[in-house]
């Protein structure tokens, strides 16, 4: 990254109802809290933007939670504030939304406001599976939103799908895939379910996940076997390739030229600034993270009254005055190299040895020769002077390999 470009991530930590598998920083909130949050966010944008005058903003991503839990005016206001305060050169402005939270009219207004990419959380086209996940919508509702979005002018739409769901079979997954590809969205993200601690899913399925036998079969019969999971993965790649989607990252598929530019910034280690509760940032090889505590965030960016006593009274009891965000952490050269490999290899195009050399003044073969050779021999990495990337077999077991670059 020669030019100091910047990507912006805006976190909206609200949703209508928490999904049973979700461990993202998000929860339902009252209208009053949402409105206070927006005010705080606007203030944070003003305060932060000052430091990035020299960084033209190229991509913006509103994520959550469900950003569309905010009303359109609020979203417009936020986007406007960004445009006013940052050096604006945004080509891609994405908005995550969930079926059941937007009307056709909303979508039109959002498109007019400047959002040009919509990411719709579908997860599954099977009603049974949606219910188990705790989603608030049906497949029908999704279709309504999808077509309304097209109508509103969105010509860059992503659909999120999930595999390895409880009760899911290869057949039902294939059916979902077929249905979705027929709609011809520009982009499809296909994640596999991870059972995270602290979610209702953890309570229900963690034991089953732990007690898989040596062949990865869930002895309790609640979850698809590892082999079925793998078959779903395999199918995603095969079916989507047949319809003009290219897998450009482990979980992401896009039609030509429709890769999510914002996400690529993460994998390529470009600069990004996260705004809003719990948002992560990395600018100029320094990482930090905004507080995850809503009360603290609201206090920190709340409107100052000018009256110290009043301000002090407003401070939530358990919140320390100082500790408002995680410490900024500058990455050592070693850490930069590790991340370069760990993130870069997630992309199917892999990493360029030349770029590695240019960034770190040392050859990637000198740093990681042994690891590279080991996995090349096993047929899991493709290694040449031009590119280093996973083979198809390598992607399936990428964790094992990526860990070796740490």
Which residues are near another protein by CB under 8 A?
Answer: 9, 11, 61, 63, 189-192, 194, 214-216, 226-227, 229-230, 233, 250-251, 263, 266, 272, 274, 279-282, 287, 289, 338-339, 342-343, 378, 380, 395-400, 402-404, 406
CB of 118 to another protein, least distance (A): 17
User: Whose Cβ is closer to another protein: residue 134's or residue 302's?
Assistant: 134
Nearer to another protein, 107 or 122 (CB): 122
How far, in Å, CA of 8 to CA of 140, rounded? 32
Rounded to the nearest 10 degrees, the angle between the axes of helix 72-85 and helix 31-49 is 10
CB of 164 to another protein, least distance (A): 9
Kindly tell me which of 175 and 292 has the beta carbon lying closer to another protein. 292
CB 288 within 8 A of CB 24: no
Tell me whether residue 205 or residue 233 sits nearer to another protein (CB atom). Answer: 233
C-beta of 75 vs 265, nearer to another protein: 265
In whole angstroms, the minimum distance from the beta carbon of 65 to another protein comes to 11
CB of 315 to another protein, least distance (A): 27
CB of 147 to another protein, least distance (A): 26
Kindly tell me which of 75 and 190 has the beta carbon lying closer to another protein: 190
Q: Which is nearer to another protein, 19 or 152 (CB)?
A: 19
Question: b/e string for 323-334 if b means 16 or more Cβ within 10 A?
Answer: eebeeeeebeee
Instruction: In angstroms, give the least distance from the CB of 45 to another protein.
Output: 17
Question: Considering the complex, what minimum distance in angstroms separates the CB of residue 403 from another protein?
Answer: 4
Give the nearest distance from C-beta 191 to another protein in angstroms. Answer: 5
Nearer to another protein, 71 or 225 (CB): 225
Residue with Cβ nearer another protein (311 or 404)? 404
Min dist CB 304 to another protein, Å, is 29
């Amino acid at each position: 990254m020669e030019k100091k470009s910047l990507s912006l991530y805006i976190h909206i930590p609200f949703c209508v109802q928490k999904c049973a598998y979700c461990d993202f920083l998000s929860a339902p909130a009252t209208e009053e809290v949402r409105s206070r949050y927006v005010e705080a966010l606007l203030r944070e944008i003003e305060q932060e933007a000052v430091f990035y005058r020299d960084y033209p903003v190229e991509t913006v991503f509103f994520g959550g939670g469900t950003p569309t839990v905010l009303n359109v005016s609020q979203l417009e206001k936020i986007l406007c504030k960004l445009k006013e305060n940052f050096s604006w050169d945004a080509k891609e402005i994405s908005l995550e939304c969930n079926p059941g939270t937007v009307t056709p009219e909303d979508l039109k207004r959002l498109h007019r406001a400047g959002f040009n990419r919509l990411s719709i959380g579908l997860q599954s086209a099977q009603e049974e599976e949606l219910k188990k996940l705790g989603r608030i919508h049906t497949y029908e509702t999704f279709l309504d939103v999808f077509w309304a979005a097209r109508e509103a002018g969105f010509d860059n739409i992503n659909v999120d799908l999930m595999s390895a769901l409880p009760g899911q079979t290869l057949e039902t997954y294939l059916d979902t895939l077929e249905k979705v590809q027929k709609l011809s969205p520009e982009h499809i993200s296909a994640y596999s379910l991870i059972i995270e601690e602290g979610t209702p899913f953890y309570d229900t399925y963690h034991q089953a996940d732990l007690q898989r036998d040596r062949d990865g079969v869930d002895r309790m019969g609640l979850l698809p076997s590892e082999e079925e999971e793998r078959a779903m993965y395999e199918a995603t790649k095969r079916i989507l390739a047949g319809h003009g989607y290219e897998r450009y990252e482990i979980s992401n598929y896009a039609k030509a030229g429709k890769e999510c530019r914002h996400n690529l910034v993460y994998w390529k280690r470009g600069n990004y600034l996260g705004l809003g509760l719990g948002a992560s940032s990395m600018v100029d090889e320094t990482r930090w993270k905004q507080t995850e505590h809503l009360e603290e965030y609201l206090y920190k960016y709340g409107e100052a009254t000018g009256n110290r006593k009043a301000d002090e009274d407003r401070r939530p009891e358990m919140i320390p005055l100082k500790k408002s965000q995680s410490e900024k952490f500058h990455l050592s050269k070693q850490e930069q190299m590790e991340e370069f490999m760990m993130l870069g290899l997630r992309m199917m195009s892999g990493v360029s040895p030349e770029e590695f050399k240019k960034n770190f003044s040392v050859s990637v073969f000198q740093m990681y020769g042994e690891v590279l050779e080991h996995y090349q021999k096993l047929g899991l990495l493709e290694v040449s002077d031009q590119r280093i990337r996973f083979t198809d077999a390598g992607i399936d077991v990428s964790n094992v390999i990526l860990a070796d670059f740490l």
